[in-house]
Structure 1
Amino acid sequence: MRTQVAIIGSGPAGLLLGQLLHKAGIDSVILERRSRDYVLSRIRAGVLEDGTVSLLDAVGASARLHAEGLPHDGFELLFGGRRHRIDLQRLTGRRVTIYGQTELTRDLMDLRAASGATTIFEAEDVALHDFDGGKPHVTFSKGGTAQRLDCDFIAGCDGYHGVSRASVPADAMQLFERTYPFGWLGILADVPPVSHELVYAGDDSGFALCSMRSPSRSRYYVQCGLDEDVANWSDERFWDELRRRLDPATAEALVTGPSIEKSIAPLRSFVAEPMRFGRLFLAGDAAHIVPPTGAKGLNLAASDVHYLSQALIEYFNERSQAGIDAYSARALARVWKAERFSWWLTSLMHHFPQDNPFIRRIQRAELDYLVSSDHAMAALAENYVGLPY
């Protein structure tokens, strides 16, 4: 089997890259080690920057997003018992859109299937070969039969635990990482959101986030210790803890109900440099992780794919290496800005075990300054809606 670009991973990054290449007449094959149903069962965040929406528009995968997604012109910070709105539209002229990653993935999968492009699910024992040479190829097995996929380039879009980054010699990359001493305990419930926009709460009781997936499905989080066991958190205990971290009016308005999913996610910042190794490129979580506070994970994957698709289209159409040679530096420049923003917002809104009263006062002073200065709010809003590609 042969293709121009072998894409490892059928998450949003791999699927979006495949469609951008398909629109340009470039052939690709996606290899996914899980089943289609498994991929679509994963529940992830869904705050989309305008740039991500524009890419989905470009490949024709946004009809349902525009029909069912929730455009948000702002969000709120809650501290000191009061909610303070950050008006994204006024400050930047832009907005974000709430649309679940599972639904986005489904749309891209359906579009790829309709286009006739090849996706191989349940590809086992995937291995990457000769990506530092002139004849890259991927071996895998399907249904017990060994197969080989020859290609011009390999795009590693298979996440933090995937085979792509693991295939690179350790001495060929530099890893940067920070792990946070807490996690987010989150639940999904079929109840109306407590607010029509996201509410980030950071006060003496600890961090909480009020989010949503639709007008009738809500996603809520509370900061918790890494030693917590989700089995010890009944729905009743979660709702009580969430109310404790909200202002009285918001807590009173909260509608509760049985959870349909409950989990604890640790928080991590991670970057692998570079993002290109010969004819292998890393994109999305294969190359970087951000804490979810800034809603940047999926959006960074989209910007990586934007840069990578441009580079590959330039190569195949013009036989120019310029975009390929610049890919890693271009992608990482935006990655590190998003890492900084996610780290800053996480540090501002959460309690760290080592914090003393002085640090808590500094956090409060920064929040007070933030909501009293248009310049400070504009910087926050500019980063939240997404820096330009």
Structure 2
Amino acid sequence: MTTQVAIIGAGPSGLLLGQLLERAGIATVILERKSGDYVLGRIRAGVLEQGMVDLLREAGVSERMEAEGLPHEGFELAFDNRRARVDLAALTGGQRVMVYGQTEVTRDLMAARQASGATTFYEADEVALHNLESDAPSVTFIHQGKRYHLHAQYVAGCDGYHGVSRRTIPDERLKTFERVYPFGWLGLLSDTPPVTHELIYARHERGFALCSMRSVQRSRYYLQVSLDDTVDDWSDARFWQELKQRLPNDVAQQLVTGPSIEKSIAPLRSFVVEPMQFGRLFLVGDAAHIVPPTGAKGLNLAASDVSTLYRLMVKVFEDGRTDLLERYSEVCLRRIWKAERFSWWMTSMLHRFSDEETFEERMQLAELDYLTGSRAGLTTLAENYVGLPYEALE
């Protein structure tokens, strides 16, 4: 079996890359170790940057997003029992974000992949990458008991932090940067109307809280919790009670509660590897970097990687520009580190790091007070939140 680009991973980044390449006439095969239903069952991000929205339009998969997504021109910061709105559109010349769940993005991309007739193997076992530093890389795997050998010209590793792609690269060829935060996020999904029509990021002495949404009738809420906590420690009643305590009084009074559809706890960490390529293997998304969810950059960073790799592959296959291959890491990492900085800054400003009153706590409050009273500060926040521009390859 042969193809031009082998894509490891059928999450949103792998599917989006495949969709863009297929539309450009570049053949792809996607391998995914999980089932399609499992991939769709992942509850993940729901805030899309302007750049990702534009990329989904370019990929021809934006119809349902345009009809059902919720454009947001701002969000709120809450602290000291008060609220301050960040007017994204006014501060960035009209840019905004789109609230549209990662599950729905994946569903749209799956449908487009199936309609295109391009090959995808779900539940592919024993995936292994070979000869990545040669002109003839390949991938072996087992599907439904049959062993396959896939020959490709390039391989895209879109298989996440635990995937095989990054682990195939020798340790001595990578440099790792990491910060682990001493808390996690407990998320609750419910079929209740959102407490407000825009997101609220709340800093409170009891810990951080976030009011988000998936639609006008489905809400997603988060609480900062201890890494020692489990989902079983948090009944729905306890979650709603704690959330109300961390929100400004006027918001808490409007909160509509109900039974949870899903609850989960995710640890927070920052992680980057350099470089993001090894021979003819290119790492994309979580395979190369992870950000804390504060600021909603994870899926959006993966999309900017996809955009860079897609445009690189088009130049290689259409124009023979193999000289640009070495620029992939350089271009991607500039934007990644800026997003890492933004996510680290938002996390540091809004979360409780100690049970004691500390210097850092006073700095958080001073930062929020300054930020919400300064147009320059709000502009910096807004520019990063809607997403920094995608960098051209040349």
Q: What TM bracket, shorter-length normalisation?
A: over 0.9
* Mapped contact 1:139–1:148 kept (Cα < 8 A): yes
Q: Which amino acid aligns with 1:62?
A: S
Whole-angstrom CA distance in 2 between matches of 1:199 and 1:239: 16
Whole-angstrom CA distance in 1 between matches of 2:355 and 2:241: 26
Q: Which residue is equivalent to 1:171?
A: 172
Structure 2 unaligned residues grouped into runs of 5+? none
Match of 1:10 in 2: 10
Aligned partner of residue 262 in structure 1, secondary structure = strand
Are 1:96 and 2:100 an aligned pair?
no
Equivalent residue for 2:110?
Answer: 109
Aligned partners of 1:308, 1:160: CA distance in 2, in Å? 18
Counterpart residue number, 1:387? 388
Cα distance in 2 for residues equivalent to 1:15 and 1:242: 36
Aligned to 1:55: 55
Cα offset, 1:357, TM superposition:
2.4
1:81 aligns with 2:99: no
Aligned mates of 2:208, 2:168 — CA distance in 1? 38
CA RMSD of aligned residues (A): 0.8
Matches within 5 A, 1:1-389: 1-92=1-92, 93-353=94-354, 356-389=357-390
Aligned length: 389
2:45 counterpart SS class = coil
Q: How far does the alpha carbon of each residue in 1:108-166 deviate from its partner, in whole angstroms, 9 at most, with x for none?
A: 01001101111111110000000011210000001111110000000000000000001
Q: Give 1:355 shift.
A: 6.4
Amino acid at match of 2:313: L
1:185-216 Cα distance to aligned partner (Å, 9 max, x none): 11000000001000000021210000000000
What displacement does 1:354 show? Answer: 7.7
Kindly state the Cα deviation for residue 353 of structure 1 after the two structures are TM-superposed: 2.8
Percent sequence identity is 63
1:318-368 deviation per Cα after TM superposition (whole angstroms, max 9, x unaligned) = 111133111110000000000000000000000113864221111101100
Shift of 1:317: 0.7
Cα distance between partner residues in 1 of 2:98 and 2:319: 35
SS in structure 1 of the partner of residue 316 of structure 2: helix
Gaps of 5+ in 1: none
The list of structure 1 runs, each at least 4 consecutive aligned residues, that deviate by more than 3 angstroms after superposition, is none
Instruction: Report the Cα distance in structure 2 between the residues aligned to 1:325 and 1:166, rounded to whole angstroms.
Output: 20
Counterpart of 1:63 in structure 2: which amino acid?
Answer: E
Q: What secondary structure is seen at the aligned counterpart in 2 of 1:166? A: helix
Kindly provide the amino acid, as one letter, of the partner of residue 295 in structure 2: G
| Aligned counterparts of 2:356 and 2:11: Cα–Cα separation in 1 | 37
User: Equivalents in 1 of 2:362, 2:175: separation in Å?
Assistant: 36
Matched letter for residue 331 of structure 2: R
The whole-number CA distance in structure 1 between the counterparts of 2:104 and 2:33 is 20
Q: Is the 8 A contact 1:268 1:289 kept in 2?
A: yes
Task: Using the TM superposition, give the Cα deviation of residue 309 of structure 1 relative to its aligned residue in structure 2, in angstroms.
Answer: 0.6
| Contact residue 189 and residue 217 of structure 1 kept, 8 A | yes
Whole-angstrom distance in 2 between the partners of 1:313 and 1:290: 28
Distance 2:230 2:25 in 1: 49
Question: TM-score normalized by structure 2?
Answer: 0.98
8 Å CA contact 1:77–1:200 kept in 2: the answer is: yes
Kindly state the Cα deviation for residue 378 of structure 1 after the two structures are TM-superposed.
0.1
Query: Does the CA-based 8 Å contact 1:312-1:323 persist in structure 2?
Result: no
